[in-house]
Structure 1
């Protein structure tokens, strides 16, 4: 099934825009136009705080991202298929995949706990 991707109305340039789609399960999928194979899948409820952080300009910018001390997850295997985590300013947590180091998810411990619990309980679908 091919999902219809829609360009965000806030995206300006055609080569670096954000695209979204929702599937039959209600999950929201987000990708950048210049990296269409890297897709973030989430729920609307989990996306709202992220959008609020963007609107309030509470996301790390430029140099702040480069100075993070990344640590490979102890549960990750060998090669690029691994997850890295870094502690950021003001108690934020940053996550990225080894094969997509430019895509960084920023969250808080309180928002990350439910995701970790769902993963441990095998409540997430691929």
Structure 2
């Protein structure tokens, strides 16, 4: 597994939103965007991941606009507040890919997430 694998990035986004919810912190887009402390990936890749998470019902706070015309890019629009859904929490806890991503990130991610949120996050 690599730090830019889709499952790893999905885990980071979902975990960030879940920890915000649990700690009463309003999520900030700049904390979990494509060029943030949590990740550094191309914007188009991040947009696709957000679209998947929205369309599968795992997060709220974005509208996804897919154009059926060939060669038109996917667009997302922010609708704040950003939040993880109950379905997203279940996916984070029960999906085998999310468990692998958690194991991959187990040593450093909780420290980075703690610094972004200003609270101590347990692995």
Per the normalisation by structure 2, the TM-score is 0.26
**Bigger Rg over Cα:** 1
Q: Which has the higher strand share?
A: 1
Whose RCO is larger (CA < 8 A, sep 6+)? Answer: 2
Per the normalisation by structure 1, the TM-score is 0.26
